[in-house]
Structure 1
C-alpha cells in the first residue's frame, strides 16, 4: 500500500509520501490510509507484543513501534486540527498511559542521540493528569536499573508526550524541576531528539 519507497530513512520516506499524495484527492488518501491501517491491525493482531521489530535501525518490541506510530498519529492529528482551528479532546487515559511509559523509556536514548551520556544517573519523572504516573528512569541506555533519583521533573502527561513528539520548546517547557537542575534541563532539552518531521 502507498507509494514506492526509495528512501530508507524517516525524512526521506516522508518526502516520498508527500510527493505521492500531492497528486491524489483527499478521498484517495483517506481510503488508502484506512486500508493500510486495517492491514496493520490484521497483521499485528496475531503477533506477540514482544516480537522484535526494526525501524530506522532501532530494534525494539513491536509494541513500542505501535505506540510510537500512535504518538506520531496523535501529534499530526493535533497539527491538522490546529491548522483548521479545531480543538481536539484529550486522548483517554488508557491510551495516554502506555504512550507516556514509552516516552519515559526513550529518555536515555534521546540523551545519547543528543551527545549526552546519562549513565549512572536516574530521573524521577512525575506526569500529571489522566494517564500520568511516576517513573524512575535510569538515564544510561545500558543501566540495568534505576538508582536513587538525581533529578526530578514534574509535567503534564500530554504536554510531555508532545515534547517527545517534537512539539513544544524544551527551553520554555512548563515543568517543575528539582534535584540536579542541569540534568533535569538536559533531559528536557534532548527529549525531542527522536522526533521526525
Structure 2
C-alpha cells in the first residue's frame, strides 16, 4: 500500500527544493526565459500555483473544478491561460504558491483514501494526485534550473516520477494517436543511490534500461531521447521512447536534440 503521508512529505520536499531556487532571485531574474517558449521563471511558478489551485478544487469543490474546465474560453490553451492568470510579481506569487501548496496538502491528507478526485481525462486517488504533483513540481523545477544554468542533484524522490512514467505507457501511445501495445515492457533504472528500480515483468522481451534521472527527463519531456543514456530493446520499448509522457492531456511536442537547437527552444509540455 502507498503511504499517503510519505508521499506528501516527498511533495513538500520537492516543492521546497524548487522554492530554494527561486526565493533568492531578483524580480528581474524571475523574468528570465526558460526552455518553454514564452514562459519565464515566473510563469513556471505561476503554473505550479495554478495547478495546485485546480487540484485543490478537485479535492474540495468538484462543481467548481468542473466549472473551471467547462467555462474555459480556449480549452487547448488552458495551461497557458492558467499560468498567465496566476502570474504576478515574485513578492505576491511566491507566498501565493506556498499557501496554495500547503492548502492542497492538507486537503489531500484529509481526503478518503478510496475517493476518486476528478482530473483532466481521468479520476485520481489522493495518492495518485500527490504523485502527479511531485512529477510536475520536479519537471517544472528542471525548467527553472535550466534557465539558471544549474543542475539539481537526483534524489530518491525521482522514484515517484519514474513509477508514473512507467504507469503511463499505454496513455503515451493513446495520446499520440498510436495503437496501444499489448506487449509488456520491463524497465530497469539505476537509482541515485546505486540501487535498481524495476517495473514490469522480468521476462518481458521489450526493455528500457538506463539512469533513473534520464528516464524521468524523458517521460516529462524535458530532454530528447538522443540526449539521454537510455537503451530500448524491442519494438514496443523503442517506440515508447518517442512518445513517452507522464502527464495527462494531449501529447506534448517534446524537445529537439540539444545538438540541433538553441538551448532556449522547446515546448510547454505539462
The TM-score bracket by the shorter chain reads: 0.7 to 0.9
Deviation of 1:50 after TM superposition, in Å, equals: 4.0
Residues 46, 60 of structure 1: alpha-carbon distance in 2 compared, 3 angstrom cutoff: same
- Give deviations 1:118-155, integer Å, cap 9, x for gaps: 4430111111123751111xxxxxxxxx6951311102
- Aligned residue for 2:236? 183
Structure 1 runs (4+) deviating above 4 angstroms are 1-6, 8-11
The question of whether the paired residues in 1 share the 8 Å contact of 2:169 and 2:244 is answered with: yes
Deviation of 1:96 after TM superposition, in Å, equals: 2.0
The question of whether the paired residues in 2 share the 8 Å contact of 1:114 and 1:193 is answered with: no
Say whether residues 1:113 and 2:178 are aligned partners.
no
Distance 2:80 2:163 in 1: 30
- Aligned residue for 2:42? none
User: Relative CO higher for 1 or 2, CA cutoff 8 Å, sep ≥ 6?
Assistant: 2
Unaligned runs of 5+ in 2: 1-48, 55-67, 253-268
Say whether residues 1:33 and 2:33 are aligned partners.
no
The question of whether the paired residues in 2 share the 8 Å contact of 1:50 and 1:63 is answered with: no
Distance 2:154 2:128 in 1: 21
- Root-mean-square deviation (Å): 2.8
Q: TM-score, normalised by structure 2?
A: 0.59
Distance 1:74 1:87 in 2: 12
Deviation of 1:20 after TM superposition, in Å, equals: 2.8
Out of 78, 94, 100, the residue aligned to residue 13 of structure 1 is: 78
- Aligned residue for 2:186? 124
For structure 1, which segment, 61-70 or 186-195, has the greater mean C-alpha deviation from structure 2 after superposition? 186-195
Q: Residues 18-167 of structure 1 correspond to what in structure 2 (within 5 A)?
A: 18-22=83-87, 24-91=88-155, 93=156, 95-130=157-192, 132-136=196-200, 148-167=203-222
Distance 1:8 1:72 in 2: 24
The question of whether the paired residues in 1 share the 8 Å contact of 2:164 and 2:246 is answered with: no
Greater strand proportion:
1
- Matched residue of 2:236: which SS? helix
The question of whether the paired residues in 2 share the 8 Å contact of 1:122 and 1:148 is answered with: no
The question of whether the paired residues in 2 share the 8 Å contact of 1:165 and 1:192 is answered with: yes
- Give deviations 1:147-186, integer Å, cap 9, x for gaps: 95131110211211121111111355421232x2x22211
Deviation of 1:8 after TM superposition, in Å, equals: 8.3
Q: TM-score, normalised by structure 1?
A: 0.79
Deviation of 1:193 after TM superposition, in Å, equals: 7.2
The question of whether the paired residues in 1 share the 8 Å contact of 2:134 and 2:160 is answered with: no
- Matched residue of 2:207: which SS? strand
